Amino acid sequence: MFGLFKSKSEKEKLQAEYKKLHEEAFKLSKVDRVKSDEKFAEAEEIMKKIESLA
């Protein structure tokens, strides 16, 4: 309850974005492999940013 108004850190925001892109890439892998690879590459760029913060 006390964490209700707590803002997310930059790392938490990037992790949420990474998860979203990774899920989109997985869904696209069943339909369009090229778009799936693009989303996966975007997700990997986000992961590099996360690692640089740590």
Q: With pLDDT > 90 as the criterion, what percentage of the chain qualifies?
A: 78
The Cα 14–Cα 1 span in angstroms is 23
pLDDT of residue 35: 95
Judge whether residue 42 has pLDDT over 70. Answer: yes
Residues 25-54 have a mean pLDDT of 94
Provide the token pair at 13: 């925001």
Please, are residues 43 and 18 in contact by the beta-carbon 8 Å criterion? yes
pLDDT of residue 14: 94
Residues 18-45: b if buried by 16+ CB within 10 A, e if exposed: beebbebbeebeeeeeeebeebbebbee
pLDDT tens per residue, range 9-25: 899 999 999 999 999 99
Please, are residues 21 and 46 in contact by the beta-carbon 8 Å criterion? yes
